[in-house]
Structure 1
Amino acid sequence: MKTNFHTHNYRCGHAVGNVEDYVKVAIEEGYTELGISDHAPLPAYYFDRMKMEDLENYLEEIEKSQNKYGKQIKIYKSLEIEYFPEFQSYYDELRNKLDYIILGLHAFRKNEEDKNKIYNAWTIKNEEDIIFYAKYMAEAIKTGNFDYVAHPDLYMINYRKWTAACVEAAHIICKAAEEMDLPLEVNANGIRKTLERYPEWDRYMYPYKEFWEIVRQYNIRTIIGSDTHNYNEMEDEPMEMARKFAEELNLKVIETMF
């Protein structure tokens, strides 16, 4: 069974290809299931995403591909989205329109009192922020709004030192994921980015091996996600490397969300 549940398209503004482009490649590669999961529009904070006025057209485009290619491949509607508790009604609305929702936590808050301050996982530089990020992700997981977590080890992108705080953060995230039976994603795009931009690094941007060694201590399902932003890269060497990474660590990999 060959599947992928994490893909983007031109609507987010930093990807190429439309829905049909991804579907055609998936069929050529022998996929049985494909999830279309572009970055969701947000009411506030993040704007390098799909625009709110594009959402219905996005869903209609997926439906057209479902009707056109439904006998060849199963296609699902999805979005990758941030977590902000004040948007609960929006998550409820999306739940009625989508087959599944991916938590992609790039932004986080440190405390409830500082609601107007948004921090970015890409710029984490200290242990205190690593713990804040992990606790915020655990809070998001426990809402029940999401069906799996994209790149849960994103907090290691620029910190790059596996310290006691990193271990604690991994356990915080894993305990929440196990409690909610929420799959964690081994993300091929971290490998893709590392090969393209950081050849001097001795490891991938993500997946971060030490994080996943902790994941396997728990009863947690994992899923391989391409997270491709280019339909020509959906089934590429980094995708195979992500599968091999999961296999070598003996992770509990699922092939489908359904």
Structure 2
Amino acid sequence: MKFDLHTHHFRCGHADGNIRDYIEAGIQAGLQAIGISDHTPYFASEEEQAFPRIAMAKSELRRYVEEVLALKEEYAGRIDVLLGIESDYFPLHAELYRTTLGQHPFDYIIGSVHHTEDVSIFNKTRWKGLSEARKIEVKERYYSLISQSARSGMFQILGHIDAMKGNYPAFSDIVADHAIDETLQVIAEAGVAIEINTSGKTKLSGGWYPSDAILERANHYGVKVTFGSDAHKPSRVADELEEVRTRLKEIGFKEWVYFKQKQMQIVPL
């Protein structure tokens, strides 16, 4: 079975195309299921749309859900359209996000850490002038947040768990193996899946999130895996899916998963 659980569209302000475009691209790619998972609004902000080029407006959430559900019905029998969403994880606002998202019938929610210490993980200038000890501290805090998100019970999938390397490839060389191992153990115990996200190719790091080294350790700890292109244009739907499948088999994985009505569906690789 072929699926892609991570796609965006125009509502987030930094992706091209509408939802139908991504569904049609999924059909062309031979997918049996496609997940629509645009960015949540910033619910804790007083503004209607705090960051128009990052996430949808609060009032768009209902329209987003209604549109996906309508397209799910329209495309039934051709491709399984799954209602997902990608949510930031902010510990201070976790209950607000949990309550708000709980009002809608999501098939799954991707939990992604995009900020640490109130700075974007993709902001490469944040590393300028930091000592090695401080870099280790930042990396440990990043993985601490990912661990917290796994324990929160809010998410079925954790997004791009080493994406901090995206615009700072040297992130991978910062020694914090214990933090990664502890996080993977927490993820396994929580029964949450991690995605192999092929959008790293659009950043300075290139490659996938997470790295092969992390995937090998994830397999050791029994972490479940899924696939997401993180497409921000329809042409990237299912991008490198077969290459990911092949690599997972080489690493030793036997299966991957997707979610319907928040229930894990296990599929042999």
* Partner in structure 2 of residue 172 of structure 1: 182
Q: Which of 47, 54, 59 is matched with 1:53 structurally?
A: 59
* Aligned sequence identity (%): 28
The answer as to whether partners of 1:162 and 1:210 remain within 8 angstroms in 2 is no
Q: Which of 64, 74, 80 is matched with 1:74 structurally?
A: 80
* Partner in structure 1 of residue 245 of structure 2: 243
CA shift for structure 1 position 223: 0.8
Give deviations 1:142-184, integer Å, cap 9, x for gaps.
Answer: 010011111111233313443431x122112201101101111
Q: Which runs of 5+ in 1 are unaligned?
A: 110-117
Query: Letter of the aligned partner of 2:32 in structure 1?
Result: T
| 3-state SS in 2 of match to 1:254 | strand
The answer as to whether partners of 2:198 and 2:208 remain within 8 angstroms in 1 is no
Separation (CA, whole Å) in 2 of partners of 1:231 and 1:161? 29
Q: Which of 206, 211, 216 is matched with 2:214 structurally?
A: 211
* Partner in structure 2 of residue 14 of structure 1: 14
Separation (CA, whole Å) in 2 of partners of 1:253 and 1:75? 21
Separation (CA, whole Å) in 2 of partners of 1:65 and 1:105? 29
CA shift for structure 1 position 251: 3.0
Query: Letter of the aligned partner of 2:142 in structure 1?
Result: Y
**Aligned 1:1-258 pairs, distance under 5 A:** 1-44=1-44, 47=51, 48-87=54-93, 88-97=95-104, 98-109=106-117, 118-122=118-122, 123=124, 125=127, 126-157=135-166, 158=168, 159-165=170-176, 167-190=177-200, 192-193=201-202, 198=204, 204=207, 206-236=209-239, 238-257=240-259, 258=265
CA shift for structure 1 position 51: 1.1
Give deviations 1:90-149, integer Å, cap 9, x for gaps.
Answer: 32231331221101111134xxxxxxxx13222464111000111111111101001111
Give deviations 1:53-85, integer Å, cap 9, x for gaps.
Answer: 111111111122112111212111111011113
Query: Letter of the aligned partner of 1:217 in structure 2?
Result: H
Compute the RMSD of aligned alpha carbons. 2.1
Separation (CA, whole Å) in 2 of partners of 1:7 and 1:137? 21
Query: Letter of the aligned partner of 1:27 in structure 2?
Result: I
Separation (CA, whole Å) in 2 of partners of 1:252 and 1:214? 15
Cα pair distance change 1:84/1:207, threshold 3 Å: closer
Q: Which runs of 5+ in 2 are unaligned?
A: 128-134, 260-264
| 3-state SS in 2 of match to 1:138 | helix
Query: Letter of the aligned partner of 1:127 in structure 2?
Result: I
The answer as to whether partners of 1:17 and 1:230 remain within 8 angstroms in 2 is yes
Separation (CA, whole Å) in 2 of partners of 1:206 and 1:33? 21
CA shift for structure 1 position 15: 0.5
Query: Letter of the aligned partner of 1:242 in structure 2?
Result: V
CA shift for structure 1 position 248: 2.4
Separation (CA, whole Å) in 2 of partners of 1:25 and 1:178? 32
Cα pair distance change 1:255/1:79, threshold 3 Å: same
The answer as to whether partners of 1:79 and 1:102 remain within 8 angstroms in 2 is yes
Separation (CA, whole Å) in 2 of partners of 1:101 and 1:85? 16
The answer as to whether partners of 2:110 and 2:159 remain within 8 angstroms in 1 is yes
The answer as to whether partners of 1:103 and 1:148 remain within 8 angstroms in 2 is yes
Query: Letter of the aligned partner of 2:28 in structure 1?
Result: E
Separation (CA, whole Å) in 1 of partners of 2:252 and 2:220? 11
Cα pair distance change 1:95/1:252, threshold 3 Å: farther
Cα pair distance change 1:150/1:253, threshold 3 Å: farther
Query: Letter of the aligned partner of 1:65 in structure 2?
Result: L
The answer as to whether partners of 2:184 and 2:218 remain within 8 angstroms in 1 is yes
* Partner in structure 1 of residue 131 of structure 2: none
Query: Letter of the aligned partner of 1:206 in structure 2?
Result: Y
